[in-house]
Structure 1
Amino acid sequence: MRSVKTLLVPYYEHPTERPDAWDALLAAADRLYGVVLNPASGPGAAPDPAFAVVAGRLRAAGVRVLGYADTDYGRRPHAAVVRELLCHRDWYGTDGAFLDQVSAEPEALPHYRRLAVAARTAGARTLVLNHGVHPDPAYAELADLLVTFEGPWDAYGSLAVPLWTAAHPRERFCHLVYAAPPDAHVAAAVQCVVPGAGVHPWGTLPHALEPIR
């Protein structure tokens, strides 16, 4: 039976510091929707050979590799975001884009339409928008996947799902949940549920993937 690729993993640890965790990610390749590559809150100032190696290994295993770029809720200039996506592509061979801190408001839609076109032009076959909340419904036209929740486990139980989402397949939505217990159950078809908390929760893998130390 073919595995269902349900895990979108933002893992922000350096490969030389946590090689065992990156090996665990590769071992779970048949379960991964994709991995977000984030060397330095973006691609960094220059190529990082260690990230280039793990990106190549992920691609060889058939895993989407998504380059991280912060949009600061529409405040970062278009050119700055696109430049980072091009660096991800040229340095790490990314085949998708993960835009973070994306505005949920309809007024920002023109800005994100331009970014979506630019990301596709730069070679992003998969585009993920991380709003962290449910955005205006029109954002669903721009991306392959919308992150409609990012937050701690104790806030996840009060998540309200708007009616407009029913017009789209469940696989179009993702929830990123941190500070979660081992038995945490998340309703989203695409997800990442990690034990990490505080200012850097995405330095931990999902419970089921965390290597035994």
Structure 2
Amino acid sequence: MTQEAPVKSLLVPFYEHPADRPEAWDAVVAAAPGLYGVVLNPANGPGAAPDPGFVAVAGRLRGAGVRVLGYTDTDYGRRPHHDVARDLRCHRDWYGADGAFLDQVSSGAAALAHYRRLAAEARTAGAATVALNHGVHPDPGYAEFADLLVTFEGPWDAYRAAGIPSWTAAHPPERFCHLVYAAPPGARAGAAVHCVVPGTGAHPWGTLPHELEPVR
């Protein structure tokens, strides 16, 4: 009997330093077979110089076959193109990132050309996977040049009331991701790619998904 490959459904944006939470990072690496990828965010981006702790953990993730998506803030289209491009190259050169996670992405049609150009820049920098975090359902045009659209980011209470526009049915489920925080144990997201964490407040992504929290 042929054993089925594990479903890689969990995208983990874990914004804690490996030196401060080594046991949590061990849990992330151990979960490699079920991970869609890990968002690497040393300093709201790659930082001013390579961080040895993140260099090491990125190497472990790559060695385990996990996508490493370098975090880059786009400030809803206000951040200059050359600054975003610099971050993309640093993630590649310093941490070996093979994907890009663009955060604070505009959702309207007016910004499509800007983000199409940024996605092309990410590909040039070696990103095999380009994820755009809109946090809401964007104009359908973004699906033309991104591999993954984060169409929800917010607390569990808001997620329970969120709807899904009909245009998403024209795309495979694995093209969409939901990031949910302030979630109780046992909470589950409806997107094929997802992350559901207990964290609250200004830094919810300093907590692991419930299923990856190390046993204490």
Same-fold call, TM > 0.5?
yes
TM-score norm. by structure 2 comes to 0.98
**Aligned residue runs from structure 1 range 123-162, under 5 A:** 123-162=126-165
Aligned partners of 2:27 and 2:176: how far apart in 1? 25
1:202 aligns with 2:199: no
CA distance in 1, matches of 2:152, 2:141: 17
In the TM superposition, what are the counterparts of 1:1-213 in structure 2 within 5 Å? Answer: 1-213=4-216
Instruction: Provide the aligned length of Structure 1 versus Structure 2.
Output: 213
TM-score scaled to structure 1, two decimals? 0.99
State the AA in 2 paired with 1:87.
Answer: C
SS at match of 1:21: helix
4+ residue runs over 6 A deviation? none
**Counterpart amino acid of 1:28?**
A
Identity %: 76
Rounded to whole Å, the distance in 2 between the matches of 1:161 and 1:55 is 34
Show CA shifts across 1:48-105 (max 9, x none).
Answer: 0110000000000000000000000000011100100100110000000000000001
Aligned partners of 1:120 and 1:47: how far apart in 2? 21
- Alignment-mate amino acid for residue 88 of structure 2: L
Displacement of 1:185 after TM fit?
Answer: 2.0
Displacement of 1:186: 1.3
The one-letter code sitting in structure 2 at the alignment partner of 1:208 is E
CA distance in 2, matches of 1:185, 1:66: 23
Task: State the distance in 1 between where 2:193 and 2:173 align.
Answer: 8
Cα-Cα RMSD: 0.5
* Equivalent residue letter for 2:207: T
CA distance in 2, matches of 1:169, 1:157: 22
2:167 aligned counterpart, secondary structure: helix
Tell me which amino acid in the other structure corresponds to 1:180. A
Instruction: State the Cα distance separating 1:157 from its structure 2 match.
Output: 1.1
Structure 1 residue 212: deviation in Å?
A: 1.9
- What is the SS of the residue equivalent to 1:208? helix
Q: Which runs of 5+ in 1 are unaligned?
A: none
Amino acid at match of 2:49: A
- Name the SS of the counterpart of 1:35 in structure 2: strand
* Partner Cα distance (2:186, 2:214) in 1: 17
Taking the aligned partners of 1:105 and 1:80, their CA distance within structure 2 comes to 22
